[in-house]
């Protein structure tokens, strides 16, 4: 339950947080702040901003880079916490329906970096037509 997610992360259970979590569980893909604002019209902009920030910090959601200019967030499915995000899956942006989804089943491939570089994180942003639109 959403309440438990908050408690497990050491965040207090409040109405704005539950509302935001509900929006995330209702939608599958990654959401921009504006997407959530459209759903929760009465939500204070700054509260939402800080809610997303704390969720991200605590590992409840992660940023989904998708090469649109908007920062998007998606629920973390794997074991993410304050220490580390395990979101090594690609994000897919559909140029037709403009939705961004997490390809959780896919593991981002190892990238052969030149000598001397140390990679700690890989983010893969895919663009194209999603299952439904293609």
For residue 115, give both structure tokens.
């000598």
Closer to DNA by CB, 54 or 123: give it: 54
User: Rg of the Cα trace of the chain?
Assistant: 16
Q: How far apart are CA 76 and CA 62, in angstroms?
A: 6
What residue 98 binds from DNA, its own copies, none (CB within 5 to 8 A, per partner kind)? none
Question: Could you say whether residue 95 binds its own copies (CB under 8 A)?
Answer: yes
Residue 115 sits in the site that holds its own copies (CB under 8 A): yes
Record the tokens describing residue 65, joined without a space. 């880079």
Q: How far is the CB of 66 from DNA (least distance, A)?
A: 13
Question: Site residues (CB under 7 A) for DNA?
Answer: 6-7, 11-17, 32-34, 37, 43-47, 49-51, 53-54, 69-71
How far apart are CB 47 and DNA at their closest, in Å?
4
- State both tokens at 54: 């704390």
Query: Could you say which DSSP state residue 30 is in?
Result: B
3-state secondary structure (DSSP) of residue 72: strand
Contacted entry of its own copies, DNA, none for residue 40, CB cut-off 5 to 8 Å set by kind: none
Q: Report d(CA 77, CA 67) in Å as an integer.
A: 22
The footprint of its own copies (CB under 8 A) covers 63, 65, 67, 69, 71, 90, 92, 95, 103, 105-106, 108-131, 134
């Amino acid at each position: 339950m959403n309440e438990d997610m908050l408690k497990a992360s050491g965040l207090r259970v409040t109405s704005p947080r539950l509302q935001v979590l509900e929006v995330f569980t209702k939608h599958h893909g990654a959401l921009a702040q504006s997407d959530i604002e459209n759903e929760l019209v009465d939500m204070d902009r700054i509260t939402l901003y800080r809610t997303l920030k704390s969720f991200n910090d605590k590992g409840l959601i992660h940023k989904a880079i998708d090469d649109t200019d908007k920062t998007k967030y998606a629920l973390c499915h794997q074991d993410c916490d304050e220490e580390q995000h395990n979101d090594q899956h690609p994000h897919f942006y559909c140029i037709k329906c403009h939705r961004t989804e997490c390809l959780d089943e896919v593991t981002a491939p190892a990238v052969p970096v030149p000598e001397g570089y140390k990679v700690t994180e890989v983010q893969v942003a895919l663009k194209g037509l999603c299952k439904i639109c293609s």
